[in-house]
Structure 1
Amino acid sequence: MKHVDKLKNIKPARREHSNNVARYVRGMAMVLNMPNETQELLYKTALVHDIGYAVLDKKTLDTIAEKKDLTEKEEIFIQTHPKKGVDYFDDLDIPKEMKQGILYHHERNDGTGYPEGLQGNEIPVFAKIIGIADIFDALTTSRVFREKMSFDAALLIIRDLGRKKLDDQYLQALIEYLKRSGQIKR
């Protein structure tokens, strides 16, 4: 029951974001020819990758959502959501890959991510894939403080990030999925 009750705290925009990320992740997994079971688990993980927001203080979260620039304290607050997400499923036996995808989707290849500052191959595959889709959707979705970017503009930014922060294999899988699905030009 705890899981259902907490889901009420998730705003429609956050649910839409999770659905978008899951759609991109599924497409990337297909491009990568992952086994069907892996694709399905990755998709489910992407759907709940931000579940930690459901247990964060709603009032604080709403205040932060309206801001472009966060204080250090607010950034630290937001950075707790991956750990809170894994903790959310403590009483359930979820696969290790799912836990890793939720916990590490903000890690970056150069060690600048959170919560642990993992680098390169230390970052699990699920987290790398979800992280790329997460960034792409964040760029292509309107925010209170900025308009959404076109897919092409977002790809310019994400390609630049990819040089240091993202795994090129998975970035190329996103680009190929967007091409195959007709969302960007070939």
Structure 2
Amino acid sequence: MFLRQLSILGLLIASFSSHAALHPNWFYPFISDNFAPWSEREFYQSQEWFECSESEQVLYCSDEVSLYSAKVFGQWDGEENTLSIEGAFSLNAFNQMQLGLRADGFQLIEIDLGTENYKVTEQLTRKSAEQVDKEVLSLIGRYSAIYPRTLVWLNPESNALATWQSDNKTIQITFQNK
């Protein structure tokens, strides 16, 4: 009985620690308003970031980090307070990064794919959520994952925007707090 309780406790600790380590500390302010944004000084003092601007612009870059189960490089623009992450395209990264955005509370609000532009929030004023879901799935299903696209995501709780751009070579997501 004691060993069983110990193993259950071990599983709980393991699941908590893996959940707590889902994202690096510098990422949280871009997905939740429960965290204060990092200052330039914090990026400067961090061992994960280095100055990378070739002008007077405040720009910091990261070495490769794991985010949303994908290997990406980060770039923080201090003047715009935006964070861009970019990694090589793979179907796994394509799926994992979208799942990660959803897990962090982001909802798809706009799709630019092919010659089509679909504004989810605008369509929801005229159609049921079920109809809009069908149309979104139909639009996305008409194109291969390697087809260039821009997807705009909004986290309604924090008002954070995430702009996704991908093609068959890279995936880039730019996070911005409104």
Which category of TM-score, normalised to the shorter sequence, fits these structures?
A: under 0.3
**TM-score between the two structures when normalised by the length of structure 2:** 0.27
Q: Which structure's relative contact order is higher, taking Cα pairs within 8 Å and 6+ residues apart?
A: 1
| TM-score in terms of structure 1 length | 0.26
Which of structures 1 and 2 has the bigger CA Rg?
2
